[in-house]
Amino acid sequence: MRYELFYWPSIQGRGEFVRLALEEAGAEYIDVARERGRGKGLAAMQRLMAGPELARPPFAPPFLRAGRQVIAQTANILYFLGPRLGLVPESESARLWAHQLQLTVEDLVVDVHDTHHPVASSLYYEEQRDEARRRARYFTGERAPELLGYFEQVLQANSGGRGYGVGRRLSYVDLSLFQVVAGLRYAFPRMMAELEPTLPGLVALHGRVAKRPNVAAYLASARRLPFNQDGIFRHYPELDRG
Amino acid sequence: MRYELFYWPSIQGRGEFVRLALEEAGAEYIDVARERGRGKGLAAMQRLMAGPELARPPFAPPFLRAGRQVIAQTANILYFLGPRLGLVPESESARLWAHQLQLTVEDLVVDVHDTHHPVASSLYYEEQRDEARRRARYFTGERAPELLGYFEQVLQANSGGRGYGVGRRLSYVDLSLFQVVAGLRYAFPRMMAELEPTLPGLVALHGRVAKRPNVAAYLASARRLPFNQDGIFRHYPELDRG
């Protein structure tokens, strides 16, 4: 199966959680909006979203085409891909648990996005800077410690912090937690310097994931977009802890 | 199977999407935090969340206990319940599509919540009223029309606006869209008065769902909590369209 991923071509964003799963699994895929040629590129993605071709249209990217199926919503895409890529245990209860954790990652992603866009995605950061400061103070002081503490607890309960989040093998949840740690280190370095001593399992997991051969090769490649000020994880020093 | 739903006892909130599914299906369930007695009530729910009893703890309510399984995240609960309650078509592709729509409903729910709490859930509305006005203007002017327009398009494509959102029978997605229309009418009556002429399928779906015998009996019962100023859908006239 050759998968087609549709996502904004210049940011990691939500698409990155899907890219990491495809890369770790060595899956054959096209990052459609980042390629050139017929039926590719950003314009092709936008045409597909706006047009009548899709019987089940996505509200927003990312979405994945797998044969005749088109699937949107990041966590839903990973739920679909998990068993196909060997990135989740097979039992229904483990799949639901992994999905539950992924949806909680999504909650964190929304919170991170709203630190710099608390009013409107369609306005510039500079147009909502005052609101962003208040929202970010709440995020760095309350929400981030709560959510990261929760994931740490899950890792400790599953593997004593020396293994993975779900079951005994790597799952897409671990890849997503890697991305969360990497993104928060970029966006909120002072907060992370203070929190990391309380998150030994998460920090160790980030390190282990980064060293996996396929992930390491991906991170070193041009396919891995750098963090930047257009994505979800953005570094505005004034939003970090003081 | 007797299900146990755990959710805040005084609001509809996210729990209501699960309650509607259980009620429509005539499922046997206990709304644990709203009952009294041993192992029931709000304190029992909080003890369960904080204690070591659950191997797979939820980050937040709602969560559902079904035998030995405990499942959190609203859309995940509905994904689990859908086939068990006959509220989703059986094929994997239809289940993923229903789930994708439900996750988009969740996106709207987050947006509604953030109209009155754009800074922090832990602060009172009155402490973030200025930010709320700006965020609500974006919601009523851009996001709500976009999201509702999307659901209208889905209804029109599936059934010409005369049937359901997924397949040929009622699904939990339809129950959730009913709740969205009901909640938005309560919270943003002026916005809805202006938008509804453009949303004939959604408005008709709301009416059809409200008349289903089990839903109608539930809505007329004391089990249906009224909308109030502590839930997700709140009526602050200053946040509605002018």
Residue ranges of domains in chain A: 92-211
Q: What is the pTM of this model?
A: 0.98
A114/B120 Cβ within 8 A: no
Alpha-carbon distance A189 to B96, whole Å?
A: 37
Query: What's the pLDDT score for residue A157?
Result: 94
Residues 180-199 on B with a CB inside 8 Å of A are: none
Question: Residue B75: its chain A contacts at CB < 8 A?
Answer: 103
Contacts 24+ apart (CB under 8 A), A196-200: A198/A145, A198/A149, A198/A152, A199/A148, A199/A149, A199/A152, A200/A152, A200/A161
- Tally of CB atoms within 10 A around B127: 14
Report, as an integer, the average pLDDT of B45-54: 91
Alpha-carbon distance B157 to B60, whole Å?
A: 35
Distance (Å) from the C-alpha of residue B143 to the closest C-alpha of chain A?
A: 9
Residues 148-167 on A with a CB inside 8 Å of B are: 150, 153-154, 157
Alpha-carbon distance B111 to A53, whole Å?
A: 29
- Tally of CB atoms within 10 A around B139: 25
Summarize pLDDT for A129-145 with one digit per residue, the tens. Answer: 999 999 999 999 999 99
Res. A52 pLDDT band, cuts 50 70 90: confident
Res. A231 pLDDT band, cuts 50 70 90: very high
Alpha-carbon distance B95 to B63, whole Å?
A: 20
Distance (Å) from the C-alpha of residue B184 to the closest C-alpha of chain A?
A: 19
Which 8-state DSSP code applies to residue A157? H
Q: Which of B112, B174, B162, B109 is nearest to B138 (CA)?
A: B112
Sheet with B69-72, edge to edge strand ranges: B29-31, B3-6, B63-66, B69-72
Alpha-carbon distance B158 to B166, whole Å?
A: 7
Give buried/exposed letters for A162-182 (b at 16+ CB in 10 A, else e). ebbbbbeebbbbbbbbbbbbb
A138/B134 Cβ within 8 A: no
Q: Over chain A, what is the mean pLDDT?
A: 97
Handedness of CA A51, A57, A62, A68 (dihedral sign): negative
Summarize pLDDT for A99-117 with one digit per residue, the tens. Answer: 999 999 999 999 999 999 9
Query: What's the pLDDT score for residue B191?
Result: 98
Q: Is the pLDDT of residue B228 over 90?
A: yes
Question: Residue A122: its chain B contacts at CB < 8 A?
Answer: 138, 142
Q: Under CATH, to which class is A92-211 assigned?
A: mainly alpha
In degrees and rounded to multiples of 5, residue B127 shows phi and psi of -85, -5
Query: Phi-psi region for residue B37, left (φ > 0), alpha (ψ -120 to 50) or beta?
Result: left
Report, as an integer, the average pLDDT of B204-210: 98
